[in-house]
């Protein structure tokens, strides 16, 4: 096989014409604009509906698989590993541990936020190890957050809860 | 067990598969060309290198990531003529960021099964159509009920994974930043490169915070671009070249979208995909048997994370290899000699051009200034995607 050192530089050439954002703004290139307005109503499904109802009541619900024994949150209708239906629901604590966290300076469109926010994966007490949910931290200096920090849910007042993940405002450190 | 069967993945194939040509466009934040035009450029170049005409192509595989970027919700069909697939068996495959390495895996099925002797694999991405930023399109990968009300940004998952990886192995940001420094410098030798630069670790650590620990220079840029490769059966390869590069292993694996339920410090799905590909390629000690690697590097820490998933480093060892220069172009295990996504650009699926195509060029000794210093026989390309859940792996060799 004729492999070994040789002087061929691939790709031999590259095509494409770069344009700048300014070229669009100043209409130097031809383009067409569209603003799709597509609306969706996502059903929450069997298991998550029950989970959201729990949040409205100030409770975090999980499920237990009777085959592998995992206590899972968010809850689900079937265990994806055993592929068996779930028939045991468990009420978990509204406390947990910071698995990992980030201090975010950007919104969903990558625009700068006025105030950075702390997002985290929180492993929920009462669930299997590393079983966490995505949420936010509050009442804490970003500098003071660490992995392994114990936290507790700060709920919206009962009358403001609507059966949504945002019924928990954020999670705050547990004193001491 | 309902039926009698031999457990495990079967590696039966009808014929071996070689790569005989590759091509790519420039990668840039915004290109004037349409996705079809970009695909056409990449295909023409791949055919030219292979010495084939479009009429020689039996079947075509297209890889392209979310429709939301282009705003065309039948992107595969839309791109068909640019891919040279008019009136041919044609399929589009998609596993998020893993697509650039998954499309060649699908190309491999076409040829290895004996259905096709010549299969063209094309990948395209036009991220710039989406405004104000391609990240707006990424909003729609999140769970609509539990995640989207929290107004997440795509960078979050990377930041959360990076922090967990750093925590478990006690890795400093300085060590991770070295990957960005290396890849952006490697890209100075790539004609398609978007963000080739000589930068320092301090530049990375002082760049604008996005979602800490992730800063601007830890991240690859969004890009437009296309790439293509030609995959053929042995009797075709023989007629075209003395130096085909063989696909000796393919592997892919996906974990659940319940990504907050796993310890993010290690990409198990990449390890599973690698296990499959290595078994097929008869590789038992990847660190010794792999000469050059192109793991997916949309973020600097991801190169390290994926090296560990690929078994090219022990868990937590990849930053040490990087610091010691092992992964430099003249090192013992060159990693991302192309300049990777961090340096050349990240047009999601079209990263085929710096992953599988780069390993092909390296093993054919056609990488020019980017050619690694050591002698090479075997290389691995890998991609990752979706909600920390997809691993796609291709092993190539210039020996059959
Ligand atoms: Zn189970």
Domain count, chain A: 1
Query: Quick check: is B168 in a domain?
Result: no
State whether A13 and B256 contact (CB < 8 Å): no
Mean pLDDT of B27-38: 97
Mutate one of A1, A6, A15, A96 to test the B interface: name it (highest B CB count within 10 A). A15
Supply the pLDDT for residue A36.
Answer: 85
Alpha carbon separation from B400 to B16, B109, B362 (Å, rounded): 9, 18, 16
Residue B322 belongs to domain with CATH number: 3.40.47.10
Question: Taking a C-beta distance cutoff of 8 angstroms, is the pair A1, B396 a contact?
Answer: no
Instruction: Report if residue B213 sits inside a domain.
Output: no
B167 touching chain A per CB within 8 A: yes
The mean pLDDT value of chain A amounts to 95
pLDDT at B198 over 80: yes
Taking the centre of ligand 1 as the mean of its atom positions, its distance from the CA of residue A72, in whole angstroms, is: 9
Query: B26 and A14 in contact by Cβ < 8 A?
Result: yes
Say yes or no for a CB contact (<8 Å) between B361 and A107. no
**Quick check: is A36 in a domain?**
no
Please report which confidence band the pLDDT of residue A2 belongs to, taking 50, 70 and 90 as the band edges. Answer: low
Residue to substitute from B70, B127, B261, B265, interface A, most A β-carbons within 10 A: B261
- Residue A115 buriedness (CB in 10 A; 0-12 / 13-18 / 19+): exposed
Contact A110 B153 (CB under 8 A): yes
The pLDDT, as a whole number, for residue A64 is 98
Q: How far apart are CA A125 and CA B114, in angstroms?
A: 54
Chain-wide mean pLDDT for chain B?
96
Strand B59-63 with B90-93, pairing: parallel
Using the mean position of ligand 1's atoms as its centre, give its distance from the Cα of residue B258 in Å.
14
Question: Residue B2 above 80 pLDDT?
Answer: no
Which residues of B, range 370-399, sit inside 8 Å of A by Cβ? 370-371, 375, 398-399
Beta-ladder partners of B230: B21, B120
Please give the Cα distance from B84 to B39 (Å, whole number). Answer: 9
Cα A176 from Cα B2, distance rounded (Å)? 56
Q: Decide if A91 is inside a domain.
A: yes
Ligand 1 geometric centre to CA of B263 (Å)? 18
Express each pLDDT in A25-46 by its tens digit.
Answer: 999 999 999 998 889 999 999 9
Q: How far is the CA of A46 from the centre of ligand 1 (A)?
A: 18
Pick A134's closest partner by Cβ from B71, B147, B164. B147
pLDDT(B11) > 90: no
Residue B37: its pLDDT value, please? 98
Contact B263 A16 (CB under 8 A): no
Q: What is the pLDDT of residues A150-159, one digit of tens each?
A: 999 999 999 9
- Could A4 and B363 be called an inter-chain contact, meaning their C-beta atoms sit closer than 8 Å? no
Task: For residue B186, give how far its alpha carbon lies from the nearest alpha carbon of chain A (Å).
Answer: 14
Domain count, chain B: 1
Each residue's pLDDT tens digit, B134-165: 888 888 889 999 999 999 999 999 999 999 99
- Residue B78 resides in a domain: yes
The helix-helix angle for B173-186 and B155-169 (nearest 10°) equals 120
Give domain status of residue A11, yes or no: no
In a domain, A2, yes or no: no
Structural domain span for residue A90: 45-173
Q: Which of A3, A104, A109 sits opposite B243 (nearest CB)?
A: A3
Distance A85 CA to ligand 1 centre (A): 9
Inter-CA distances, B5 with A53, A85, B2, B8, Å: 45, 26, 9, 9
> What pLDDT is recorded for position A4?
82
Contacts of B171 in chain A (CB under 8 A): none
> Average pLDDT for residues A79-107, to the nearest whole number?
96
In angstroms, what separates the C-alpha of B346 from chain A's closest C-alpha? 15
Q: What share of chain B is helix, strand, coil (3-state, %, to 5)?
A: 40, 20, 40
List the single residue in B24, B163, B258 with the smallest CB-CB distance to A11: B24
A45 contacts in chain B (CB < 8 Å)? 145
Report if residue A103 sits inside a domain. yes
Whole-number pLDDT of residue B1? 63
Ligand 1 mean position, distance from CA B112 (Å): 36
List the single residue in B24, B32, B136 with the smallest CB-CB distance to A29: B32
* Torsion angle in degrees (nearest 10) through CA of B41, B44, B45, B48: -170
Structural domain range at position B304 = 18-131+221-397
- Window B:306-345, CB contacts with A under 8 Å: none
Per-position DSSP letters for B207-251, written without gaps between them: SPEEEETEEGGGBPPB-EEEEEEEEE-HHHHHHH-S--EEEEEEE
Residue B352 lies inside a defined structural domain of this protein: yes
In a domain, B148, yes or no: no
Residue A76 falls inside a structural domain: yes
How crowded is residue B6: how many other Cβ atoms within 10 Å of its Cβ? Answer: 5
Could you tell me if residue B137 is inside a domain?
Answer: no
Interacting residues of A55 by C-beta distance below 8 A, sequence separation 6+: A161, A163, A164, A165, A167, A168
Considering the entire predicted model, what is its pTM? 0.96
Q: Across the interface, which of B149, B243, B258 has its CB nearest the CB of A166? A: B149
Tell me the C-alpha distance between B332 and A8, whole Å: 22
């Amino acid at each position: 096989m004729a492999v070994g050192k040789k002087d061929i530089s691939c790709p031999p050439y590259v095509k494409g014409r770069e344009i700048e954002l300014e070229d669009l703004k100043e209409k130097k290139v031809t383009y067409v604009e569209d603003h799709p307005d597509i609306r969706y109503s996502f059903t929450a499904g069997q298991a998550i509906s029950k989970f959201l109802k729990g949040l409205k009541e100030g409770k975090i619900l999980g499920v237990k698989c009777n085959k592998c024994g995992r206590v899972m949150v968010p809850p689900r209708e079937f265990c994806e590993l055993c592929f068996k239906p779930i028939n045991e629901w468990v009420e978990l604590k509204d406390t947990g541990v910071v698995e990992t966290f980030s201090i975010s300076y950007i919104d969903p469109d990558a625009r700068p936020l006025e105030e950075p926010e702390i997002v985290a994966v929180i492993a929920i007490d009462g669930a299997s190890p590393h079983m966490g949910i995505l949420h936010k931290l509050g009442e804490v200096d970003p500098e003071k957050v660490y992995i392994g920090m114990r936290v507790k849910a700060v709920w919206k007042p009962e009358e403001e809860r609507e059966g949504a993940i945002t019924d928990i405002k954020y999670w705050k450190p547990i004193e001491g | 067990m309902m039926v009698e069967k031999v457990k495990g993945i079967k590696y039966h194939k009808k014929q071996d598969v070689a790569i005989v040509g590759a091509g790519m466009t420039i990668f840039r934040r915004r290109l004037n060309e349409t996705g079809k035009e970009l695909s056409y450029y990449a295909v023409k170049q791949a055919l030219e290198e292979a010495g084939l005409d479009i009429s020689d192509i039996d079947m075509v595989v297209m890889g392209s990531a979310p429709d939301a970027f282009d705003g065309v919700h039948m992107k595969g069909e839309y791109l068909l003529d640019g891919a040279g697939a008019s009136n041919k068996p044609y399929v589009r495959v998609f596993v998020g960021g893993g697509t650039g390495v998954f499309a060649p895996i699908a190309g491999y099925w076409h040829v290895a099964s004996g259905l096709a002797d010549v299969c063209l694999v094309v990948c395209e991405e036009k991220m710039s159509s989406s405004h104000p930023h391609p990240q707006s399109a990424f909003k729609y990968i999140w769970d609509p009920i539990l995640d989207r009300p929290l107004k997440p940004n795509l960078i979050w998952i990377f930041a959360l994974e990076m922090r967990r990886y750093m925590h478990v192995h006690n890795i400093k940001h300085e060590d991770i930043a070295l990957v960005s420094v290396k890849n952006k410098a490697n890209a100075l030798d790539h004609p398609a490169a978007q963000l080739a630069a000589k930068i320092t670790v301090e530049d990375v650590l002082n760049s604008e915070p996005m979602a800490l620990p992730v800063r601007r220079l830890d991240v690859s840029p969004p890009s437009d671009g296309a790439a293509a490769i030609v995959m053929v059966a042995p009797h075709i390869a023989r007629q075209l070249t003395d130096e085909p590069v063989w696909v000796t292993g393919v592997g892919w694996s996906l974990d659940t979208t319940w990504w907050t339920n796993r310890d993010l410090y290690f990409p198990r799905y990449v390890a599973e995909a690698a296990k499959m590909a290595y078994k097929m390629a008869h590789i038992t000690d990847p660190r010794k048997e792999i000469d050059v690697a192109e793991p997916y590097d949309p973020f600097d820490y991801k190169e390290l994370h994926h090296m560990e998933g690929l078994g090219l480093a022990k868990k937590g060892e990849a930053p040490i290899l990087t610091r010691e220069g092992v992964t430099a172009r003249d090192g013992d295990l060159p990693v991302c000699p192309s300049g990777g996504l961090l340096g050349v650009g990240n047009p999601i699926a079209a990263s085929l051009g710096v992953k599988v195509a780069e390993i092909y060029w390296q093993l054919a000794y056609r990488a020019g200034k980017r050619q690694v210093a050591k002698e090479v026989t075997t290389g691995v390309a890998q991609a990752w995607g979706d909600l920390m859940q997809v691993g796609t792996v291709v092993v190539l060799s210039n020996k059959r």
